[in-house]
Structure 1
Amino acid sequence: MSIPKKGSRRITVDALSYRWSVSQPALTAALTESNMSFAVEAELGGRTTLRVKTDMAYPDIWLGNRSPAITPSIVERAIRQALSQGWQPCQSGSAVEITICLAQA
């Protein structure tokens, strides 16, 4: 599944452009304690999606739960981590999933 241009952001890491988008939880997931996640693909020829789970809870405006935003520096860190673990964004294949810890970031 390709990340649409609308609603996504562009980032360049080591001369390769990517698109990334924060995943929005379904209402049922938002009511439980689910953590923020986002998806990344190479902008041109992206064939393998990177799914990144974090240790940050989704912000909840009703309960006053505030969480830091997913920033480009977090996305870059996730891309570099996935690449070091063997993610090949321009080759066909199943989505790759990693988890990053942001509590110490």
Structure 2
Amino acid sequence: MALVKKGSRLINVDGTAYRWRLRGRPTYDQGLVRTPLAYAVEHAATPGTTLVVTTHQPHPSNWFGAQAAPILPSHVADSIRAALTGGWTPVSMGSPFPLDRSAGFVPSR
């Protein structure tokens, strides 16, 4: 399934264009700072398997005001490279490919 283009951003990693998107509103658990922020990445020209990256920080719109740093394009590029090394094939169809980078996340009580 392709990402919604509205609100998504293009990024070029090693000569290949990808589209990535953060969810604007947090999920219930992200709002309560129980689960960390996640974002999705897909191949821009021929979307196939979606990469789902789980970060180590809370969603910026969480309901408790927990500090959250912005997701920089350099972080997205690093995650794409790590996923490609880990076996993600973005142009072939399949289930979402999870990339867990949540080490160090401390959920709220």
Alignment TM-score > 0.5, same fold: yes
| Counterpart Cα distance in 2 of 1:98 and 1:48 | 13
Counterpart position of 1:8: 8
**Uncovered stretches (5+) of structure 2, i.e. residues with no partner:** 105-109
Are 1:56 and 1:102, in contact at CA under 8 Å, matched by a contact in 2?
A: no
| Counterpart Cα distance in 1 of 2:56 and 2:33 | 14
Counterpart position of 1:86: 87
Considering only aligned residues, what root-mean-square deviation do their CA atoms show, in Å? 1.8
TM-score (norm 1): 0.86
Q: Which digits, 9 at most, give the CA deviation of each residue in 1:60-96, with x for residues without a partner?
A: 5653312101110110010000000111101111110
Higher strand fraction (1 or 2): 1
Aligned-pair CA distance for 1:99 = 1.0
Counterpart position of 1:39: 40
| Counterpart Cα distance in 2 of 1:101 and 1:80 | 17
Label 1:17 to 1:64 Cα distance change in 2 as closer, same or farther (>3 A): same
Are 1:20 and 1:41, in contact at CA under 8 Å, matched by a contact in 2?
A: yes
Counterpart position of 1:51: 52
Runs of at least 4 residues of structure 1 off by over 2 A? 23-26, 59-64
Q: Which digits, 9 at most, give the CA deviation of each residue in 1:1-39, with x for residues without a partner?
A: 21121100000011110000013422x221242201100
SS in 1 for 2:55: strand
TM-score (norm 2): 0.83
| Counterpart Cα distance in 1 of 2:49 and 2:76 | 16
